[in-house]
Amino acid sequence: MDDPQRKTPAVRRLRDMLERCRRAVVFTGAGISTESGIPDFRSPGGIWTRMAPIQFEDFLASEEMRRESWRRTFGLRDAFAEARPNIGHHAVAELVRRGTVQAVITQNIDGLHQQSGVPAEKVIELHGNNGHAACLQCGERHELDVIRQAFLGRDELPECRLCGGIVKLATISFGQAMPVGPVLNAERETRECDLFIVIGSSLVVFPAAGLPVLAKRNGAGLVIVNREQTPLHDEADLAVEDEIGPFMAQVVGLN
């Protein structure tokens, strides 16, 4: 039974903000997917405590770096491929279904918002998607199963079948330009909303982390749900240092 008296003050406050808002946007980072078994970057045990990220210019300049990048892709991919949306994703999907949340802007590349039922046109992927690859020259889409067979089976680096260009996972690396369309959409949604809810981001990766600042400057309420402090905690109208799944489930009434 969903008894409002048993909710914590933070749960009640966010429910209240969601009820009063005209248009909400959710902005997610790797933290929403850790409960699905995908490690984030910066937490203890996170991906970067084990390997340094490959910069875009190194990927372009060195065949060995491209090989290392594909080795990582096919090593990590099994963890990604097996991951399923968790209760945090389902809570966000429910807010979209109710019409409270108009868009989900995500830094994640795992596709779990779409899998949890958020329509693809409502998910704005700022850092791409790791479910396929693309030619850096002409943009042609390439399927990972084909690349995996050639790379793991015959040690072949993928090359574009149309133009011979370098093929890369369709995610945005450090040093690589952000995708123009998604960035413009994200900025528009951020300007139009009156409630901006950050879920599971350390808010240190720019330009993505500039969006909550833009929202706040535009007069929107700012909520941050993250187990550790972020550089924007002091500016938030509500900052909740808690586990995402259990907290968001209470907010939405999923448990």
Active-site residue numbers?
Answer: 127
Q: Which residue is nearest to ligand NAD (CB)?
A: 31
| Subset of 35-54 contacting ligand NAD (CB under 6 A) | 35, 38, 40-43, 46-47
Instruction: Provide the 3-class DSSP secondary structure of residue 42.
Output: coil
The encoded tokens of residue 179 equal 């995708």
**CA 144 → CA 64, 120, 149, 198, 216, distances in Å?**
19, 20, 9, 31, 39
How many chain residues bind ligand NAD (CB under 6 A)? 27
| Alpha carbon of residue 253 to chain centroid | 23
The encoded tokens of residue 86 equal 């968790």
82 binds ligand NAD (CB under 6 A): no
Could you tell me whether strands 141-142 and 128-135 are parallel, antiparallel, or unpaired per DSSP bridges? antiparallel
Q: How far is the CB of 16 from ligand NAD (least distance, A)?
A: 21
Q: How far is the CB of 57 from ligand NAD (least distance, A)?
A: 18
The correct pick among 25, 27, 31, 224 for binding ligand NAD (CB under 6 A) is 31
Neighbouring-strand partners of residue 103 = 25
Stretch that binds ligand NAD, among 12-20, 94-102, 185-193, 225-233 (CB under 6 A): 225-233
Instruction: Provide the 3-class DSSP secondary structure of residue 198.
Output: strand
> Could you tell me which residues come within 8 angstroms of residue 149 by beta carbon, excluding any fewer than 6 positions away?
none
**String marking each residue 227-246 x if it binds ligand NAD according to CB under 6 A:** xx--------------xx--
**In which residue are the tokens 């909550």 written?**
212
Interface residue list for ligand NAD (CB under 6 A): 29-31, 33-35, 38, 40-43, 46-47, 107-110, 127, 200-202, 205, 226-228, 243-244
